[in-house]
Homo-oligomer: A and B are copies of this chain.
Amino acid sequence: MDVRVRGDLSEVFDVQHFRENSETAVAILHKHLSDQSIRGLELVDPAVLTRAARALMTDESERIADFDEGRLAGILELYVRTGIAVHSPGSMGRQFSGVVPLGGVVDFVSSVVNQPSAFYEAGQLPNVAERIMAEELNRFIGWAPGSFDMVTTSGGSLANLTALLAARNRAFPDFWEQGGPGATAAGRPAVAVGEDVHYSVARAAGVLGIGEAQLVRLPLDRERRICPRRAERALAEAEERGLRVFCVVASAGSTPVGAFDPLDELADLAHRRGAWLHVDGAHGASLLVSDRLRPKLRGIEKADSLTWDAHKMMFVPAPCTLLFYRDRAHGAAAFRQHASYVFDEEPDPYTALDSGDRTLECTKRPMIMALWVLWSLYGRALFARKIERLCRTTALAHRILLEQPDFEVLHRPEANILCFRHHPAGPAGRAPADPREVHRLQVAIRDRIKHEGTFFLSKVDIDGVAALRMVLMNHQTTSEHVRLLLQAIRRAAQDVQADPGGPR
């Protein structure tokens, strides 16, 4: 061997060193997960955190610095401490959560073995696991085996973008090669979406050369679901304005309130007009695995494509998104490419599983592995039980809120998202009539709660006015925690009103 490996480089790659680092990480994570106190977020000023982070960095530039175990522990402890306390029952703000711990362990293996999964040869088991999970989950969708398709994507936004691209290419076969047609006799390409559609869908129109001006907004009913009757009218009007709506996007459930659009009716509506129905089920598709909750997605088998985030309601590390197509051929038509260094010209049993020609990513994390292993070891009941519990607790929270005269509930929760506003004087009392004042108070309450660090909530604008948004992702959150939260909100409102300029 004429090239010697220098001692320092081999030390970095030393296996015993890896083992010790792993033990350090496991000990810190163990301690972190053991803390079951009610916590939200320890928000740190970025300038302060930057100084703390910089202080942990080596100054050595010319040679590989000697390893400092204490420095590693310091970094990992800082990392763990400054996150949202997703494993605490106080975390109620976002659609991601404390992962099933074994899912994190499997993801660890993925990080070390480094098997990008867009090509079979680079990640054999991940590719097989993708096919298996596609079949397993399709049992709850109901498409004919062998006719549908599924690819994984790095998050729901990419899945929505990819689905709209496939729909665009089906409706306008020259778009890929020639670019956007502009205004033609057949009408300008357009996409119809509910008023509460996720921002990634609206953004996709801008990205794909369709244009945000060609988004047709479909009106919602009182429960913030797309109203099929009024949607039909909106589509007819769009056509009269010279738009050709090639895709209708429904939500299951929507990001703001978790509403489930009527898929059955919307599929019929879209298909009557020759349009594609895409269902953004990033949050709610997981309800399909529960016998009790599956009816929320009635008609899902009529969808042309479906976005399903396993990192939301399947509780695996983010991101892990599954994009389903009812018709295999449609998914394959999203892209048209040739690259000799990755795509083999003569398909064989191995390359038949490649998905690099069907996703925006080339190097892609084997994200399916955590989901498949949890599914394999615990079965679907793990997911069904946890989701059912979250929805039940949210229904309880709804009932509790209805009993409070100083809270306004904005909808009946269909899943595990609940939006409400606090009116300190009660709605019939001296509540401010000015919606701007209501808006400012909810934002101020949310910020103060966040800075206190006991609970973590989000906020959303409903009809232009801010509301507090609770997303129950932790099965250890109970109605008792909800009551504690309401007390914290009342205190926060008092503090805000006593000292409007005080710490937020």
Q: Give residues 209-234 of A contacting B (CB, 8 Å).
A: 209-214
Closest 9 CB pairs of A and B: A209-B209, A180-B180, A182-B182, A179-B211, A107-B111, A199-B339, A108-B108, A340-B461, A104-B112
Does chain B have a CB within 8 A of A175?
Answer: yes
- The one of B30, B96, B154, B335 in contact with A206, judged by C-beta atoms closer than 8 angstroms, is B335
Q: Give residues 231-262 of A contacting B (CB, 8 Å).
A: 255-256
Complex-state Cα separation, A340 to B154, whole angstroms:
23
Q: Is the CB of A379 within 8 A of B311?
A: no
Q: Is the CB of A121 within 8 A of B43?
A: yes
Find the B residue at minimum CB distance from A21.
B105
Q: Is the CB of A25 within 8 A of B124?
A: no
Collect the chain B residues with CB atoms within 8 Å of residue A476's CB: 5
Complex-state Cα separation, A335 to B58, whole angstroms:
36
Chain B nearest CB, measured from A370 CB (Å)? 8
Collect the chain B residues with CB atoms within 8 Å of residue A485's CB: none
Other A-B pairs, 13, CB within 8 Å; known A15-B30, A96-B363, A209-B210: A53-B128, A54-B132, A58-B376, A65-B381, A84-B115, A84-B122, A99-B111, A176-B211, A177-B206, A179-B211, A181-B182, A202-B337, A341-B460
Q: Give residues 380-424 of A contacting B (CB, 8 Å).
A: 380-382, 385-386, 389, 392-393, 396
Q: Is the CB of B200 within 8 A of A21?
A: no
Task: Say whether, besides A21-B101, A365-B318, A83 and B113 are in contact (CB < 8 Å).
Answer: yes
Complex-state Cα separation, A170 to B432, whole angstroms:
44
Task: Say whether, besides A114-B97, A154-B155, A175-B209, A33 and B21 are in contact (CB < 8 Å).
Answer: no
Complex-state Cα separation, A381 to B61, whole angstroms:
6
Q: Is the CB of B75 within 8 A of A178?
A: no
Query: Which of A66-74, A298-306, A323-331, A494-502 is near enough to bind chain B?
Result: A66-74
Complex-state Cα separation, A156 to B46, whole angstroms:
28
Contact with B along A72-114 (1 / 0, CB 8 A): 1001101110111010000000101111111111111111111
Q: How many copies does the complex hold?
A: 2
Does chain B have a CB within 8 A of A292?
Answer: no
Collect the chain B residues with CB atoms within 8 Å of residue A208's CB: 207-209
Find the B residue at minimum CB distance from A27.
B19
Show 9 residue pairs from A and B whose CB-CB distance is below 8 angstroms, ordered by the A residue: A13-B475, A15-B33, A50-B132, A61-B380, A64-B378, A154-B158, A155-B363, A178-B211, A199-B342
Does chain B have a CB within 8 A of A45?
Answer: yes
Task: Say whether, besides A161-B360, A182-B179, A352-B46, A378 and B65 are in contact (CB < 8 Å).
Answer: yes
Does chain B have a CB within 8 A of A281?
Answer: no
Q: Is the CB of A213 within 8 A of B113?
A: no
Find the B residue at minimum CB distance from A382.
B64
Q: Give residues 9-26 of A contacting B (CB, 8 Å).
A: 9, 12-13, 15, 17-19, 21-26
Does chain B have a CB within 8 A of A459?
Answer: yes
Collect the chain B residues with CB atoms within 8 Å of residue A109's CB: 25, 28-29, 76, 79-80
- The one of B32, B107, B180, B450 in contact with A181, judged by C-beta atoms closer than 8 angstroms, is B180
